[in-house]
Amino acid sequence: MLEDGKDTLPARPNKTKAKMPNAKQRARAEELAAEIRRHDDLYYQNDAPELTDAQYDLLRRELVELEDQFPALQAKDSPTQQVGAVPASGFATAPHRSPMLSLDNAMTEDEMRAFDVRVQKALSTENAASSNPEDVAYVAEPKLDGSGIELIYENGRFKQGLTRGDGRTGEDVTVNLEQIASIPQKLATGARPKFASVRGEIVLPLAAFEELNQARIERDQRPFENPRNAAAGSLRQIHDVDLIRLRSLEFRAYALEEGRPNGCTKQSEILNVLRDWGFIVSPEIEICRGIGKAIAFHERLLQLRGKLPVEIDGTVFKIDDVAKQDTLGSLARAPRWAIAFKFPPEQAETVLEGIDIQVGRTGALTPVARLRPVRVGGVTVSNASLHNQDELERKDLRIGDRIVIQRAGDVIPQVVRVRLDFRRKALAEGFRLERPAPTTHCPICSTRAVRLEGEAITRCANLDCPAQLKNNLRHLASRGALDVDGLGAKLVDQLVEAKLVTRLSDVFALELAQLADLERMAQKSAQNLMASLERARQTTLPRFLIALGIRHVGATVAELLADHFGSLEGLLAAKPTKIAAIEGIGPIIAESVGRFLEDASNQAEIARFEELGLVIVVPESRTPSDASKRPQPLDGLTFVLTGTLSRPRGEWKSLIEAAGGKVTGSVSRKTNYVVAGSDPGSKVTTAAKLDVEILDEAGIEALLSAR
């Protein structure tokens, strides 16, 4: 139903010359992009979100508005152009035959009506008779709060199941999905296509969630925070699989990407086909003709929310007519013919019992409200982030205040406001409400807190602070950094508290006897960890830069730095101005990297890593950008990949770049070749219009073989 990169209609006409952003706007866009990527990783990779949906949506909306106002700010890897996150290691991966796109959100009735106006205007250009809003029928479906899944059927039998991943490539979780009773192993009735791609959501029914948590409490295990995290985590189990949790999951189908029977031209008909094949389809679904009826359905569903067997967080509206869907097409991240109308965050009242200060990986001192436990949004919560000292002062909180909190489907709620009427009453009755003192020292190491100019965050400046060290050590061991298997959170706590690790590089000075002497650390486990540390000593420059925990340096920035400088020595010698000149790296990131690398203690730490045997392996193709290099067969050539290829696109991209070529995401007059697999979509059409040569896999392999 969705073509790769199909973009038939502009998002909004741009009749004036694009304005250029100033330095402050560029810096804010970079900051937002870095923060959104971090929260995407927490949500998709770790199933451990820190923000509510509403807070996350505000960050994304601010970035979208900046990029709309200043198109020059929209980088190729902007999170506004991405879906989901890169699949985690540990599972085999496979490409989706067509992208699993995300949905744009509407938060208010006005935004829903604006969406309908855009739909009407776009359709009226094709057919003047479609200009009446009552002519558009929307299929209204509950927005399920779970994990998106694609199921592949061949000749009517279940063949493969993939997570959403980054929208183009997902994790193969077939073996776990086979345990879920609501996923048919064989399509039940009707014409069975040779190939079918069924998409839907894996959810954990609320009754099963309560039963699982009760059982965990009885076994002295930590209960799950919410059904969404419990479901997502269950799908990604590799070892010691909890079959009871896995078999408690439910799959609800909502789309048929391939395999639609002849004559099936409506979304509502597709849902009926899925029911006939044996899938669960949400029973609340209705066809709403016109935006007024759609909004009325949303209001009714909001009232039913607390009575439904699964968690939902809004309504999804899709144009019923598939032909009209095709007319509207899609952007890189989301279709134009569908939207998610989100429910307002759920709120509750409780008492502020205290304020604690948490120390983050980069030394950020974050005030956290300690609450009298209260149930909100289906979860009992006892903490709420207050973000920074400014936020704490702005809300004018006092210990003992009665406060309103809200939660939008995630773990950590937010403080909305103080009930001043309750405060006045408490003060009149003689109660003492204490104003929290400002944070002047780190609560862990007692080092004086600092606040850099232009920052809202107060930080502990002690790099050896035990709290920072623990977080940095966990970060170093993570999959995207040095990937030290066996170095988990509990072991990190032991190593730091036993003073076996007092600085980051100490991890490579550990000895087998030291590890074996630790509580609950068997000889075999100690040997395995030592072997994992030995493997981690051979790493790449991007992974090492990520492992160092430099602020704002994630996978994308680390790759840019490694590609440009080619070696650690070249980067260490670089000035912030040279770093800032790299395309894709702005002044804030450059200042952060430069400040870190110029610090004498950090330089000593990097040198000690090398003394302890860490070796940075530089790929043959990666040399400094200003150094001489032998000619490559694809030097100066730009490629675009489209359609379903026999190997993952990332692999083709690596091969092309290793041969000196460049891979971009869209076709332009600067494109030299488009490499097209099956079902290539509109990029091939664009290439033909621009006289760009189109290659099949044999063609690109012929170019590569000239190396």
Q: Name the residues annotated as catalytic.
A: 143
Exposed/middle/buried for residue 476 (C-beta within 10 Å: 0-12, 13-18, 19+): buried
Q: Which residues of 352-382 are buried (b: 16+ CB within 10 A; e: fewer)?
A: beebebebebbbbbbbbbebeebebbbbebe
- Residue 34 corresponds to which tokens in the numbers above? 């870095």
CA distance 308 to 71: 42
3-state secondary structure of 502: coil
**CA dist list (Å): 88 to 32, 137, 475:** 23, 39, 15
Q: Please list, in sequence order, all residues whose beta carbon lies within 8 angstroms of the beta carbon of residue 618, skipping any fewer than 6 positions away.
A: 540, 541, 566, 567
Nearest residue to 482 (alpha-carbon basis) of 319, 336, 614, 651: 614
Structure tokens at 104: 């744009």
Q: Using the Cα atoms of residue 364, residue 367, residue 371 and residue 376 in order, give the sign of their dihedral.
A: negative
Backbone angles phi, psi at 17, to 5 degrees: -65, 135
Nearest 5 degrees, angle CA 23-CA 27-CA 31?
Answer: 175
How is the beta sheet containing 312-319 ordered, strand by strand? 105-106, 338-342, 312-319, 137-144, 286-289
Encoded tokens for 262 = 């002849």
What three-state secondary structure class fits 463? coil
With contact defined as beta carbons under 8 Å apart, do 378 and 311 qualify?
yes
Q: H-helix or E-strand containing 233?
A: helix 227-235
Enumerate residues 6+ apart whose C-beta is below 8 A from 554. 34, 37, 38, 41, 480, 546
Question: Considering Cα of 581, then 586, then 592, then 595, what sign does the dihedral take?
Answer: positive
